[in-house]
Structure 1
Amino acid sequence: MTTVLDRTAPTNGAGLRARLSLTPKSSLAGQLDGAWWPRSRDLEAELPPLAAALDLPWGRITHVTVNPTHWPVVPHKVPVAGHTVHVGWFTEQHPDKMILLSYTVGRWDLLVIPPESEPAAAARLMNAAAIPGSVLTAGVLMANEAATERDILHSRQRETLWESEGGACMCPSGIPMRHSGTLASANS
């Protein structure tokens, strides 16, 4: 079962919430340990609520690495609840993945869902990233979601076209015909 956390962790008096979906504890090791859906591309503002929300289930986060592609500013250090999280960046790391490290507990890899994502897309990604033992990487999950979004868009376009071309049965008056539930006989 997937654990979805929406915890309040005040930062600078703002009371932001970290939107997380974590892989449940299991003997199945996967590519990702869950997903995080930040509200912005401001790592300095987004990291404190994330680290605070993970303190209880994972322990104190001490280091984070990101790919700078999606983060306009990557600070070297971010103060979090009485300690400092050191931030590093690597262009070799997938842009949609964040690595979190703890001196005492270990390493976790999170899919980072773009802040501008629609809630339905974010929910699909959060669920997919938290499947125990999944071999899907951040890149594969993001590519799959892009394909799903294209399919949804094409489906909506086909439906709109169908309706605009008279796909629904219409009377000469332009009002959709309703089936009465009875069949007319050939003599009527």
Structure 2
Amino acid sequence: MTSASSSTPSPPTPPTPPDVRLRLAEPTRYGRTARRIDGAWWPRSDDLTEELTGLLGVLPPAWGRIASVLVHGDTWPDCPEQMTVAGQPVHVGHDDSPTAPHTVCLIAPGRGRYDLLVVPPGTAEAEADRLMEGAVAGDA
């Protein structure tokens, strides 16, 4: 027989951020993908500050510290010029190229540039899964 559990309350669990919906392409043996798109990201809202904080917090350590992010102005019209993520400054700029309205570019000094397909937040799950799978398979 085991004794009854202690009545001492456990400390509260800190809130966890919403799951980041991200798929990354398989790296090559050199650590980089051999394609134009490095993965796909499906943010949960249009709040760029909140969404980028979550995204940058789950990227592979091999990508290094992301110092700059370029987003498309039509997709993210309300974006800060600078934000702090994990105590580090991150510059946010607009890239209004007509060829990349649904991408975000992440720049890590000394490591490289990483481009992610952005699936709009309101996309149906089946369509988002299809788009994300296509991006990591090299179909984007």
TM-score normalised according to structure 1 size:
0.60
Query: In 2 relative to 1, CA 108–35 (structure 1 residues): closer, same or farther, beyond 3 Å?
Result: same
Q: Does 1:71 align with 2:76?
A: yes
Distance 2:24 2:60 in 1: 13
Relative contact order (alpha carbons < 8 A, sep ≥ 6): 1 or 2 greater?
2
Q: Does 1:92 align with 2:65?
A: no
Distance 1:113 1:15 in 2: 19
**Range with bigger deviation, 102-111 or 18-27:** 18-27
The 5 A counterparts of 1:1-188 are 15-26=17-28, 29-92=34-97, 94-131=100-137, 134=138, 136-137=139-140
Query: In 2 relative to 1, CA 79–55 (structure 1 residues): closer, same or farther, beyond 3 Å?
Result: farther
Amino acid at match of 1:23: A
**Range with bigger deviation, 122-131 or 84-93:** 84-93
Which structure features the higher share of helix residues? 1
Distance 1:40 1:85 in 2: 20
Question: Any gaps of 5 or more consecutive residues in structure 1?
Answer: 1-12, 138-188
Distance 2:83 2:51 in 1: 10
Amino acid at match of 2:35: G
Distance 1:113 1:57 in 2: 24
Amino acid at match of 1:74: C
User: Is the CA contact (8 Å cut-off) linking 1:54 and 1:60 kept in structure 2?
Assistant: no
User: Is the CA contact (8 Å cut-off) linking 1:55 and 1:61 kept in structure 2?
Assistant: no
CA offsets, 1:16-67, max 9 Å, x none?
3221000011266112001000011111111011011115242211100011
Name the SS of the counterpart of 1:29 in structure 2.
coil
Identity of aligned residues (%): 41
